[in-house]
């Protein structure tokens, strides 16, 4: 609806619902300006049936010229206007352009009645002005405004209906007297979707009553602004969800949703470097089939690159319970807060919910959530180093000294894409009679690898008889096969698969740069088997690869490796902060810290403390880092003093 100042025949006149100020000559022009605006808005409606059309929300025309100032105006019932202006302003400012908070440049409001034609109804008018200065914001506004204003109208209409219901049921409106509370609370109930999905006003009343009782029972936990910040929780209430759940369950989920999200936000603000996790396992229906179980989870992200979506939550559940079925339309992920995730999902069961299932979830959910948080890392742009390539070719060529020598290969990580992981292989071999080309060997194989030839040439001869053939090629694999729980890629495992498949295709060869890696993989596999707990696999891997110097992974006695991990793991739940023990010829000293910063400080102090050849390692979990050192017995007192004094 246009707000330009064009001449319209005067068909209405209005009076304010309060006495005219006596000392301000500007009030009459103010009233006249609003009167003209109201006339422009309602000229397309039947004035005598105006209440049936309320609320009315309009926006001035959007042109392609920047900057542009938009007028957004609202007419609604005066008796339901408490907090409406604040709600309207907040929604326009925060949600008209997703991801950007718009500044409200000016606004005006008026409670009024129609003098011509005469009416006993009281109305509320509110108008705000915003300015768009960027082209991308202009395009978003053009795209979003029709749908956005329609949804806003549905929300306000729902609020008005709910207030009317509250009045008809003789409930106390002053429970929601905080300006934004009723609008926020009923937004949380997602009356927008509720009205679309069902006309059962009784359910709406029941939800409101349940929430009121929750607030009355625990006023210190659920304050009167309980739902004002939960704009995205409307996702809870799609058609199927609302129709398949009773009002008591919906109210309970709303209350827990608010409580967990609010607590996570507060805790993350107090201690932003710590992971804060809250969850609740809710038995929805344990009396008749189909049986269902709801899981509500809230936690904070520590890095901007961390990601946790539906697939991650499902993998968490299946890591604990095995394969399960999920209720359709039951997944909700609130991303309203930048680094807070509040998530809900329901699983379906053919049989009555066993108590041990709930127990398993309560015991393991936090650990599995931490393990399954994905950390997205930008791919590396690194052109091939031809000098290094030439150097490697020379080294491999020198290894071929006898006719019976095996082919020599160097396998190196090349890159990754959205779906594939790539390795470059430099292979030198001696050509014999009837030797097939590498391309033919891969063509005849049934390998899961994709072969891409880069270069093939003869780089010399052995005894002037056997050509030394250089093959440079790329092998790629589906990288999803090598995802760990936290969606990091197990590069060593991928390389091992490449090496094993290459041997199946070309026969025995020498993995020139893979001997140590192969040995370390064998030790790690043995360590996992000895500890006999699959749930600890990720912790074991991270511990093993944290050992420094890296060569010590191959040298340390196996019983020392096993004992060190077990000691670290036990220390996680101990009230002590520092430990020292003796294992074989080593002294193991370790400390519980809260950040890598403390470990880095200790590492810097080691040479100053004259501690010779320490072997360091660490174990990281949700709340703590156990950093430890294996040293000679002569350094026992010095290392203990260093760790004890480090703050």
CB 346 within 8 A of CB 292: yes
Percent of the chain with pLDDT over 70: 83
* Residue 546 clears pLDDT 50, i.e. is over it: yes
pLDDT of residue 203: 53
Query: What does the pLDDT average to over 156-164?
Result: 73
Q: How far apart are CA 3 and CA 57, in angstroms?
A: 13
Query: What does the pLDDT average to over 29-37?
Result: 92
ω before 67 within 30° of 0 (cis)? yes
CB 105 within 8 A of CB 46: no
Q: Are strands 340-349 and 291-300 parallel, antiparallel or unpaired?
A: antiparallel
Query: What does the pLDDT average to over 326-331?
Result: 84
The vertex-311 CA angle with 308 and 315, nearest 5°, equals 100
pLDDT of residue 117: 82
- Structure-token pair, residue 152: 């806003």
The vertex-106 CA angle with 102 and 112, nearest 5°, equals 120
pLDDT of residue 629: 93
- Structure-token pair, residue 175: 């429970």
- Structure-token pair, residue 380: 């590396």
* Residue 141 clears pLDDT 90, i.e. is over it: no
* Residue 198 clears pLDDT 60, i.e. is over it: no
More confident call, 179 vs 553: 553
pTM of the model: 0.51
Q: Are strands 510-511 and 466-478 parallel, antiparallel or unpaired?
A: unpaired
- Structure-token pair, residue 334: 């609130």
* Segment among 184-188, 364-368, 492-496 with least mean pLDDT: 184-188
Give the C-alpha distances (Å, rounded to integers) separating 503 from 213, 326, 411, 479, 512: 70, 43, 12, 20, 13
Give the C-alpha distances (Å, rounded to integers) separating 321 from 318, 325, 362, 553: 5, 11, 12, 34
- Compute, in degrees rounded to 10, the torsion defined by CA atoms 444, 446, 452, 458: -40
Q: How far apart are CA 247 and CA 204, in angstroms?
A: 8
Name which of 501, 500, 496, 539 is nearest 520 in CA terms.
496
pLDDT of residue 358: 86
pLDDT band of residue 547 (cuts 50, 70, 90) is very high
Q: How far apart are CA 622 and CA 642, in angstroms?
A: 25
pLDDT of residue 249: 79
Residue 365 class from Cβ within 10 Å (0-12 exposed, 13-18 middle, 19+ buried)?
A: buried
pLDDT of residue 287: 61
Mean pLDDT of the chain: 81
Residue with tokens 């009355």, as numbered in its chain: 216
* Segment among 304-313, 378-387, 595-604 with least mean pLDDT: 378-387
- Compute, in degrees rounded to 10, the torsion defined by CA atoms 600, 603, 607, 612: -170
Residue with tokens 């009233």, as numbered in its chain: 31
Residue 357 class from Cβ within 10 Å (0-12 exposed, 13-18 middle, 19+ buried)?
A: middle
Query: What does the pLDDT average to over 111-118?
Result: 88
* Residue 84 clears pLDDT 90, i.e. is over it: no
* Segment among 49-63, 259-273, 277-291 with least mean pLDDT: 277-291
Residue with tokens 């994709």, as numbered in its chain: 450
pLDDT of residue 24: 67
Condensed to tens digits (0 to 9), the pLDDT of residues 221-235 reads 555 444 443 344 544
Query: What does the pLDDT average to over 305-321?
Result: 89
Condensed to tens digits (0 to 9), the pLDDT of residues 453-481 reads 999 999 999 988 899 999 999 999 999 89
Q: How far apart are CA 542 and CA 617, in angstroms?
A: 10
Q: Alpha helices, DSSP H only, in 112-198? A: 135-168, 181-188, 191-197
Enclosing H/E stretch for 376: none
Neighbours of 312 (CB within 10 A): 21
Neighbours of 634 (CB within 10 A): 11
pLDDT of residue 112: 94
Q: How far apart are CA 46 and CA 10, in angstroms?
A: 15
pLDDT of residue 70: 94
Give the C-alpha distances (Å, rounded to integers) separating 21 from 27, 29, 108, 270, 643: 7, 13, 16, 49, 74
pLDDT band of residue 191 (cuts 50, 70, 90) is very low
CB 640 within 8 A of CB 589: yes
pLDDT band of residue 212 (cuts 50, 70, 90) is low
Q: How many CA atoms lie within 13 A of 124 on its CB side?
A: 15
Report the SS3 class of residue 13.
Answer: strand
pLDDT band of residue 168 (cuts 50, 70, 90) is low
Q: How far apart are CA 171 and CA 212, in angstroms?
A: 10
More confident call, 155 vs 462: 462
CB 402 within 8 A of CB 463: no
Percent of the chain with pLDDT over 90: 28
Neighbours of 84 (CB within 10 A): 24
Count of all residues that appear for the chain in the document: 647
* Residue 403 clears pLDDT 70, i.e. is over it: yes
Condensed to tens digits (0 to 9), the pLDDT of residues 240-256 reads 666 677 777 777 777 78
Q: How far apart are CA 153 and CA 75, in angstroms?
A: 10
Name which of 74, 66, 111 is nearest 92 in CA terms.
74
More confident call, 440 vs 226: 440
Q: How far apart are CA 393 and CA 380, in angstroms?
A: 24
The vertex-180 CA angle with 178 and 185, nearest 5°, equals 100
Q: How far apart are CA 548 and CA 550, in angstroms?
A: 5
CB 482 within 8 A of CB 493: yes
Give the C-alpha distances (Å, rounded to integers) separating 488 from 177, 483, 514, 541: 50, 6, 21, 12
* Residue 416 clears pLDDT 70, i.e. is over it: yes
3 state SS for 132-155:
ECCHHHHHHHHHHHHHHHHHHHHH
CB 88 within 8 A of CB 126: yes
pLDDT band of residue 359 (cuts 50, 70, 90) is confident
Q: How far apart are CA 236 and CA 234, in angstroms?
A: 5
* Residue 217 clears pLDDT 60, i.e. is over it: yes
């Amino acid at each position: 609806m246009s707000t330009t100042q064009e001449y319209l025949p005067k068909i209405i006149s209005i009076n304010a619902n309060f006495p005219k100020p006596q000392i301000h000559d500007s009030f009459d022009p103010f009233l006249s300006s609003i009167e003209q605006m109201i006339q422009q808005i309602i000229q397309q409606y039947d004035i005598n049936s105006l209440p049936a059309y309320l609320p009315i929300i309009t926006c001035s025309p959007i042109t392609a010229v920047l900057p542009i100032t938009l007028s957004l105006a609202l007419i609604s019932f005066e008796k339901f206007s408490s907090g409406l202006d604040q709600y309207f302003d907040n929604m326009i400012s925060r949600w008209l352009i997703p991801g950007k908070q718009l500044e409200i440049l000016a606004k005006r409001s008026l409670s009024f009645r129609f003098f011509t034609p005469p009416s006993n109804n009281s109305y509320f008018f509110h108008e705000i002005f915003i300015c768009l200065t960027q082209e991308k914001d202009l395009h978003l506004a053009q795209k979003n405004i029709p749908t956005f204003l329609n949804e806003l109208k549905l929300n306000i209409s729902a609020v008005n209906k709910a207030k009317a219901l509250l009045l008809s049921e003789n409930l106390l409106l002053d429970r929601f007297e905080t300006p934004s509370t009723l609008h926020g609370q009923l937004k949380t109930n997602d009356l927008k979707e509720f009205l679309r999905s069902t006309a059962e006003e009784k359910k709406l009343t029941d939800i409101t009553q349940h929430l009121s009782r929750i607030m009355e029972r625990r006023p210190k936990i659920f304050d009167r602004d309980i739902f004002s910040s939960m704009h995205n929780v409307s996702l809870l209430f799609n058609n199927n969800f609302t129709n398949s759940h009773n009002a008591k369950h919906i109210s309970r989920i709303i209350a827990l949703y608010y409580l967990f999200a609010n607590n996570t936000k507060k805790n993350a603000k107090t201690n932003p470097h710590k992971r804060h996790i809250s969850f609740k396992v809710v038995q929805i229906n344990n009396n008749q089939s189909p049986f269902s179980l709801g899981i509500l989870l809230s936690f904070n992200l520590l890095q901007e690159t961390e990601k946790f979506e539906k697939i991650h939550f499902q993998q968490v559940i299946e890591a604990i319970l095995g394969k399960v079925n999920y209720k359709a339309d039951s997944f909700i992920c609130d991303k309203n807060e930048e680094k807070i995730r509040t998530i809900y999902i329901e699983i379906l069961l053919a049989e009555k919910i066993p108590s041990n299932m709930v127990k398993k979830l309560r015991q393991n959910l936090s650990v599995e959530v931490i393990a399954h948080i994905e950390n997205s890392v930008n791919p590396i742009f690194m052109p091939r180093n031809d000098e290094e390539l030439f150097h490697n070719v020379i080294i491999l060529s020198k290894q071929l000294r006898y006719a019976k020598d095996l082919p020599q290969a160097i396998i190196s990580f090349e890159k990754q894409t959205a779906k594939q992981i790539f390795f470059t292989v430099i292979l030198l071999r001696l050509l014999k009679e009837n030797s097939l080309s590498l391309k033919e060997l891969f063509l005849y194989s049934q390998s899961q690898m994709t072969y891409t030839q880069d270069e093939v040439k003869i780089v010399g001869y052995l005894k002037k008889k056997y050509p030394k053939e250089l093959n440079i090629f790329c092998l790629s694999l589906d990288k999803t096969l090598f995802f760990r729980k936290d969606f990091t890629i197990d590069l060593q495992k991928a390389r091992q698969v490449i090496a094993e498949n290459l041997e199946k295709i070309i026969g025995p060869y020498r993995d020139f740069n893979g001997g140590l890696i192969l040995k370390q993989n064998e030790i790690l596999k043995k360590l996992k088997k000895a500890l006999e707990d699959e749930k600890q696999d990720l912790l074991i891997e991270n511990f093993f690869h944290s050992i420094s110097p890296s060569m010590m992974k191959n040298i340390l006695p196996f019983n020392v490796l096993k004992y060190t991990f077990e000691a670290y793991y036990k220390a996680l739940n101990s009230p002590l902060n520092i430990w020292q023990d003796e294992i074989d010829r080593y002294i193991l000293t370790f400390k519980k810290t809260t950040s890598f910063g403390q470990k880095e400080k200790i590492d810097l102090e080691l040479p100053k403390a004259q501690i010779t050849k320490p072997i360091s390692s660490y174990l990281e979990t949700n709340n703590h880092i156990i950093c430890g050192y294996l040293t000679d017995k002569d350094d026992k007192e010095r290392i203990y003093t260093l760790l004890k004094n480090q703050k």
